[in-house]
Amino acid sequence: MMVLGHSRCGAVTAAVGTEGKSEGNIGTILETISPAVTLARNEAKSKEKAVLVEAAIDQNIKLVCKSLITQSEVIKHLAHGGKLKIVGAKYDLDDGKVTLFDGK
């Protein structure tokens, strides 16, 4: 199973810009992305917004990969039984390349 994020993600950009503070459906999405933004802020080597957004995208992909196992007993069972591998990856909108994450 692949969790595929992409560069310059609008949802993550919004979460970085609003600190997850919005209402309605958008607010729910931003709230879900907020932990990735927090991790990115803590680990980013630069406070430049574009760099922070890309770091938050990477963190969000990793968090979604982890959450699949915690939120689904079926996925957890298959992954732990070696019948399913969850892979995170990022699609670059500029060059079309997909970068696989190392699982860390």
Query: Considering only 11-20, 24-33, 59-68, 87-96, which range has the smallest mean pLDDT?
Result: 11-20
What are the C-alpha distances in Å from 66 to residues 16, 23, 59, 85, 95? 21, 26, 11, 11, 27
pLDDT of residue 104: 46
pLDDT at 102 over 80: no
103 pLDDT tier (thresholds 50, 70, 90):
low
pLDDT at 21 over 80: no
pLDDT of residue 56: 96
Question: Cα angle at 25 between 61 and 16, to 5 degrees?
Answer: 45
DSSP string over 18-56: HTT---HHHHHHHHHHHHHHHHHHHH-S---HHHHHHHH
pLDDT (tens digit per residue) in 34-93: 999 999 999 888 889 999 999 999 999 999 999 999 999 999 999 999 999 999 999 999
Q: Which domains does the chain have, with CATH numbers?
A: 2-100 (3.40.1050.10)
13 pLDDT tier (thresholds 50, 70, 90):
very high
pLDDT of residue 80: 94
pLDDT of residue 19: 61
